[in-house]
Amino acid sequence: MPPLKNDCFALPPGVHWTPVDEALADLRTRLSSVVDTETVPVSGALDRILATDITAPRAHPPLPNTAVDGYGFLNGRGEGDHHIPIVAQHMPAGATPDTSVPAGTAIRILTGAALPSGVDTVILQEDVEVKDNAIHFTGPIKQGANTRRAGEDVKVGDVIAEAGRKLTPADLALLSAVGVSDVELRRPLRVGVLSTGDELVQTGEDAGPGQIYDANRPMLRGLIARLGHLPVDLGAVQDDRDALRARLDDAARQVDVIFTSGGASAGDADHVSALLNEAGAMALWRIAIKPGRPLALGMWQCKPVFGLPGNPVAAMVCTLVFGAPALATLAGAEWAAPQGFMVPAAFSKSKKAGRREFLRARIRGGQVEVFASEGSGRISGLSWAEGLVELPDDAMSVAPGDLVRFIPWGGFGA
């Protein structure tokens, strides 16, 4: 795949605090797929991303057939009693429809069987009485009842799955039903996850005064996996610019995208930003979002780098809002806008204008409640929550019962 341009994240001089929607639209125009393709059997294609459109090589159903167990004959019948002799043959599912049913007679036919010549209508077996080698029933029954037309679901040549689609179990059923055995897919996107900071220690180690356990790396690896990509653990690096440079060099050789947390602002110890600036491929996107800080976006040896805030709450929110759709595009999928719905609020809040706000939230009793504290250091709120309430950029007041937009984790694709 052609690499992204080294200046693909460059911003114009004097950039302002960018509204979330504007930042997302801008990001969408700058990104394209960075992974190549491979051919895979349909049986192994679940949750993979299609590289090409798939057209149906065979109709579904391939022939007219019956939707029920019953008796088939030609034309419908009007009101009143009817008696139709039964021919000796019968039609099970899978049989070749080489039988011709004479007009005025019926044939025993089972669900899914192709309609033989002389049959265009089927009556349910429960609606007839079989006596003296004939079916007896009371009409009316419409012509074509209980049958399926050839190709009424899918016609030969129909596009049944478009490039960029992540294949679902239902897609596998449809592809198999029309005879597709292999599909061309995007190779899984490899996303490296790197933590930075002198204050970090790993679980299982002793944490000294002033140190904290690294919560971001396991969280981000889990999010990336839930989004359908392949997480690669790049470990943690202290605030040492040379060590970080070496780790980024190594990461660029093994992953398609790099996610870092911490060191992404403009302070003395923000070495991620400094190195991206040094490489001449750094942009500090100041996005009007809460929780969150500027996102450091850049390129390192032709690999896109997303510099996330070090705070776990802000890192998770920024990954869901910006990282999820960006990764989908880089993986060759469709841009994944979050899917939410309106729910009555079980809380009160007054919000100032200027920033899009995301509150940790969950639904109980048909209403959405939010975590007791908006503090971005409260990691427990992420575990408590089932999604986010999104409050728009403008000033607003929320009272219990007002409708607010709730986005479950699954609405972000996670």
Alpha carbon separation from 400 to 345, 346, 397, 404 (Å, rounded):
5, 5, 10, 10
Distance CA(344)–CA(246), nearest Å, equals 51
SS3 for 90? strand
SS3 for 87? strand
DSSP strand E in 262-366: where? 282-285, 289-290, 295-300, 303-308, 341-344, 349-351, 356-364
Biggest CA–CA distance in the chain, Å, is 97
Average pLDDT, the chain: 90
Sign of CA dihedral 22, 23, 29, 33: negative
Query: Cα–chain-centroid distance for residue 350?
Result: 33
Q: Give the model's pLDDT for residue 325.
A: 96
Tell me the whole-structure pTM to 2 decimals. Answer: 0.86
Residue 241 backbone phi and psi in degrees, to 5: -65, -40
Are the beta carbons of 362 and 369 closer than 8 angstroms? yes
Count other C-beta atoms under 10 Å from residue 195's C-beta: 25
Tell me the two tokens of residue 312: 């776990």
Count other C-beta atoms under 10 Å from residue 321's C-beta: 24
Alpha helices, DSSP H, located in 304-392: 312-318, 324-330, 380-384
Are the beta carbons of 361 and 371 closer than 8 angstroms? yes
Distance CA(207)–CA(238), nearest Å, equals 15
Stretches in the chain below the pLDDT threshold 70: 1-3, 7-8, 10-15, 263-271, 280
pLDDT tens digits, residue range 273-287? 777 777 767 777 888
Distance CA(125)–CA(225), nearest Å, equals 50
The single residue listed with the structure tokens 């991206």 is: 276
Alpha carbon separation from 204 to 83, 213, 220, 246, 341 (Å, rounded):
82, 9, 19, 25, 41
Q: Give the model's pLDDT for residue 295.
A: 82
Q: Give the model's pLDDT for residue 376.
A: 76
Alpha helices, DSSP H, located in 253-379: 271-278, 312-318, 324-330
